[in-house]
Structure 1
Amino acid sequence: MRTVPSPSFEGARLVQSRVRNYYTLIALIAVMFAAEATMHFTHFTWSRWIVTITAAVATILAFGAGLKPADFGLGPSTYARGIRWATTIIVVVVAAIAVALAIPRLRDLFHNDAYRTLPWALTSAFVLIPLQTVIPEELLFRGIILGSLLRRRSTVVAVAIQAVLFGLWHVVSSLGLTASNEGFSGAVGTGTVGTILGILGAVAFTGLSGIVFGWLRVKTGSLLPCLALHWAANGAGAVAAAFAWQLG
């Protein structure tokens, strides 16, 4: 005769499953931040790709653990809507950047030492930034983390948690922000205080960006608008930096 598990047993097993999933998510976040630090504090060729590799492996493991394409915002039913939103976002952001470049006082904000030449800016915008930044970060934050949290928490809580993590994610990458950007260094300085203000500003800005990305992901059900906005800000921004240098 088949034994039917008692409700208390099923409840205990559900609790254990949730605790195990949270531990797994925390472990992933720790690995992510370690990968980000490794990428920025080492100068090996392979370390440039460590976040990309981490995102790829984490995505495979997440699917193996039970997440579905819809949890990533990659469900087939969302493709058409996602493409419409993504196209609109890119057009609007690129147009806004073009207008800003035409205003001399705003042009200095685009002066980034990393993108002084147009060929390198184009390579970065269409190859390196998508593969090393945009796709990995969106898969990790708006895919795995947000998708996992939405299964267990309210939308507001899930979006808020991933936004805070996204802001903290940029602490390391913002360490040299004021030194490499003339517009920011002119506003807050390049000393210790300027560096701290640059970090706080970057964390606050990217945290708020994380809310926008999370809202887009939930509103459209698609990861494509998030990818589009992230690329438009970073990729189009890199090309804009090159043009800003050329325009003097």
Structure 2
Amino acid sequence: MSHASLPRVRRFSLRRPVTTATALVTTIVVLVFTNIANNRWAQGWSLAVSLVVTGVLLAIVYWAGGGWGDVGLARETLGRGLRWAPALIGIVAAVYVCGAVLPFTRSLFADQRTSGLSAGEVALRVLVTVPLGTVMLEEVAFRGVLYGLVLRVRGPLFATLFSSGLFGLWHILPSLGLAGAKPALGDVFGDSVLGVVVVDAGAVLFTAAAGCLLCELRRRSGSLLAPMGLHWATNALGYLFAFILR
């Protein structure tokens, strides 16, 4: 039998693009398991899990035939993102300083999550845990992969609403103890089941709205670095000011 008559074996290749719908469903499934793992199953390993999952999400975009531009990390837009990020960090820092100086807003910084932390532990959160364990994963996932994949088939408005809605739902589990951690919220809503539900629902709506803002920053700057800068400043400087003012 000649070689020409032999049936051709189709070689498996991860580079052979899958459909955008397949990539979206895969991304959502990965994020569901990641959310449960980081908040319930493997809380002590959340940083490592987040780093691995970030790589997996980028691989999904590659698997779907995409590249760095799909997630807002194209080389030609990095410079613009690097200009936007420090400006946004400065704005958040200025708002926090004003809030810390004014007596009627100072109490909003009280947070039980920083009450027992040392200066070194706060520095670890600000410089490692927040940027690598929270910001990088969430920005790559929601303003990078999900936004970029939906943008292929629908416009930026739908991409923003879709990714931001999921971003809000992403915060259901981590927000369950928010009323107890923030005295300002606990004083208003108490520690009842209804209070916990109201605070959690408010956190979901607030983070969904914040997701819309972060998506718009990505759209206007063309770079994922802009929402990354604002996201890091909001979280990390929040820890820092809560520690300083405790």
Contact residue 34 and residue 49 of structure 2 kept, 8 A: yes
Q: Unpaired segments of 5 or more residues in structure 2?
A: 1-15
Contact residue 39 and residue 49 of structure 1 kept, 8 A: no
Supply the AA of the counterpart residue of 1:51: S
Equivalents in 2 of 1:34, 1:64: separation in Å? 20
Equivalents in 2 of 1:171, 1:24: separation in Å? 24
Equivalents in 2 of 1:209, 1:88: separation in Å? 18
Contact residue 159 and residue 211 of structure 1 kept, 8 A: yes
Equivalents in 1 of 2:72, 2:46: separation in Å? 28
Residue pairs, 1:151-230, within 5 angstroms = 151-230=152-231
Supply the AA of the counterpart residue of 1:218: R
Equivalents in 2 of 1:88, 1:187: separation in Å? 34
Contact residue 23 and residue 64 of structure 2 kept, 8 A: no
Supply the AA of the counterpart residue of 1:109: L
Distance 1:213 1:58, change over 3 A: same
Equivalents in 2 of 1:147, 1:35: separation in Å? 20
Q: Which deviates more, 63-72 or 94-103?
A: 63-72
Distance 1:44 1:133, change over 3 A: closer
Equivalents in 1 of 2:75, 2:53: separation in Å? 25
Which has the larger share of helix? Answer: 1
Residue pairs, 1:1-248, within 5 angstroms = 20-43=19-42, 45-116=44-115, 117-245=118-246
Q: Which deviates more, 116-125 or 162-171?
A: 116-125
Equivalents in 1 of 2:42, 2:154: separation in Å? 39
Distance apart, 1:61 and its partner CA:
3.1
TM-score, with length taken from structure 1: 0.87
Q: Which deviates more, 66-75 or 137-146?
A: 66-75
Equivalents in 1 of 2:170, 2:214: separation in Å? 15
Distance apart, 1:48 and its partner CA:
4.5
Contact residue 112 and residue 181 of structure 1 kept, 8 A: yes
Paired residue secondary structure (2:142): helix
Distance apart, 1:199 and its partner CA:
0.5
Supply the AA of the counterpart residue of 1:59: L
Equivalents in 2 of 1:230, 1:87: separation in Å? 12
Equivalents in 2 of 1:110, 1:169: separation in Å? 23
Superposition RMSD in Å: 1.8
| Equivalent in the alignment of 1:5 | none
Contact residue 52 and residue 133 of structure 1 kept, 8 A: no
The count of residues paired between Structure 1 and Structure 2 equals 229
Distance apart, 1:33 and its partner CA:
1.7
Q: Unpaired segments of 5 or more residues in structure 1?
A: 1-16
- Show CA shifts across 1:26-61 (max 9, x none): 122122122111211135533443233212112123
Supply the AA of the counterpart residue of 1:142: R
Equivalents in 2 of 1:216, 1:84: separation in Å? 12
Contact residue 37 and residue 43 of structure 2 kept, 8 A: no
Equivalents in 2 of 1:43, 1:71: separation in Å? 30
TM-score, with length taken from structure 2: 0.87
Paired residue secondary structure (1:173): coil
Please identify runs of 4+ aligned residues in structure 1 that moved more than 6 A.
none
- Show CA shifts across 1:132-186 (max 9, x none): 1000110111111101111110111111100100001000110000011111111
Taking every aligned residue pair, what percent have the same amino acid on both sides? Answer: 31
